[in-house]
Amino acid sequence: MKIYWIKAQAPRRVLALVKHLGIDAQFIWMDAKAGAMKTAEYAALNPNCKAPTLVDGDFVLWESSAIMAYLCDKAGSDMWPSHRPDEQVQVLRWLSWNDNHWARAVGPFYFEYVVKATFGLGAPDPRALETAVPELKVLAAVLDGWLEGRDFVACSRLTIADFQLAAMACEWRQADMPLATYPNIVRWLDGLEGLPAWADPWPAKRAAPFTSDAVAV
């Protein structure tokens, strides 16, 4: 099984899960700055030219939440409770909430402070975030209220929903997200940092053996 990755939030979910569950996989680092994800070979695997991508024999899968579900099924982990529809929908609810609401609210902060630094896109522009603060606060209040008396977002245990929601938010201090006044979110995120696989999910950088030059696809 191969997992194509870059050091960014969506691959982080998958890499952390692989490490946490002790799944045997080959990790292939994509040199994004050198255009590795824009090669025809990579586009054939993932037409979005994004990471992560999983290749398991002839089976190719992209989208980090789908990859996490696949990996849990393969490993027999209830972090994606396939055999408990009542639990599965709880996880699905938070995956959906993340993709439709939370990720959009924390994303601007993550972009300004983390993506720009990673890809050399210049200095963060705090003024660009002024209009993003109110929406983030609305959603943070929802999540903080939900996490009152809870250690995890779904099923009273660690699930892939925690990794889905925490992927950008875990860098909230660095990214100047206004989350300090939401004690349950801070407790939840700091608790996840206690998981070795979440705190350091990054494999060694072994690049893809792609031969074609980077091309616009």
Ligand X SMILES: N[C@@H](CCC(=O)N[C@@H](CS)C(=O)NCC(=O)O)C(=O)O
What single DSSP character describes residue 13?
A: H
Q: Does 189 bind ligand X (CB under 6 A)?
A: no
- Least Cβ distance, residue 181 to ligand X (angstroms): 27
Subset of 38-77 contacting ligand X (CB under 6 A): 50-52, 63-64
Q: Rank residues 180 and 217 by Cβ distance to ligand X and give the closer one.
A: 217
Q: Sheet harboring 26-29: ordered strands across?
A: 26-29, 2-5, 53-56, 59-62
The yes or no reply on residue 19 touching ligand X (CB under 6 A) is no
For position 32 contacting ligand X by CB under 6 A, the verdict is yes
User: Parallel, antiparallel, or unpaired for β 26-29 and 53-56?
Assistant: unpaired
Residue 8 interacts with ligand X (CB under 6 A): yes or no? yes
- Residue 187 and residue 147 in contact, taking contact as beta carbons nearer than 8 Å: yes
- Calpha distance 34→171 (Å, rounded): 25
Is residue 37 near ligand X by the rule CB under 6 A? yes
DSSP H helices in the chain: 9-21, 40-45, 64-75, 85-97, 103-110, 116-119, 133-147, 160-169, 183-192, 196-199
Which two three-digit tokens encode residue 48? 């979005």
Contact string (CB under 6 A) for ligand X, positions 115-144, x = contact: ------------------------------
| CB-based contact 195:189 (threshold 8 Å) | no
Binder of ligand X out of 3, 4, 10, 94 (CB under 6 A)? 10
Q: How far is the CB of 26 from ligand X (least distance, A)?
A: 18
The answer to the question of residue 171 lying near ligand X (CB under 6 A) is no
| Chain residues that interact with ligand X, rule: CB under 6 A | 6, 8-10, 32, 37, 50-52, 63-64
